[in-house]
Amino acid sequence: MRAERPAVMDPAEFQRLGYLQEVNRQFLHPLGLALAVTVEEDGTTSIGPVYDGRSDPEGFTFAELTETDKAKAEFVEREWIRRMCARTEALDFGIQPCTDMDHELRDQIRDVFSRLGPGDAAPDEQEGGSDG
């Protein structure tokens, strides 16, 4: 466990880099939920609200995914793969197991990520601070 407090990401950066989009697109929207970033009149940003559309069996979708949205999705996917490789190597899991099924899937996932080296899907150095 870490002794020091982790850095805090500004909600605007969370949105700009595509993490908000991908949390919504891949996880929350299919469950009928949508997380937003609120921009106040003074320009400050905060996470929330969470919109609840669980009464709609189709959940939420984006009206259109632009080229910028697609680039953000690719950036987040490359980051996810890079981090899953590192976590699997260090922790013996990428996503922390919670159920017996998680333990069964862990071996399959570990096998997939063991075939990918951390450099195989790492984002370009120039992209690290870009909007993409």
CB 53 within 8 A of CB 101: no
Residue 120 placed within a domain: no
**Sign for the pseudo-dihedral over CA of 54, 55, 56, 62:** negative
Residue 73 placed within a domain: no
- Gap between the terminal Cα atoms of the chain: 32
Q: What is the mean pLDDT of each run of 10 residues along the chain (132 residues)?
A: 84 96 96 95 95 94 96 97 92 82 71 67 42 40
Residue 14 placed within a domain: yes
Q: How many Cα neighbours within 13 Å face the side chain of 124?
A: 7
Residue 40 placed within a domain: yes
CB 35 within 8 A of CB 28: yes
Domain that holds residue 10: 1-63
Tokens 């862990």, residue located: 106
Residue 79 placed within a domain: no
Residue 13 placed within a domain: yes
When divided into structural domains, the chain yields a total of 1
Look up residue 115 and give its two tokens: 């075939």
pLDDT at 131 (0 to 100): 41
d(CA 132, CA 66): 12
pLDDT at 115 (0 to 100): 75
Residue 86 placed within a domain: no
Residue 126 placed within a domain: no
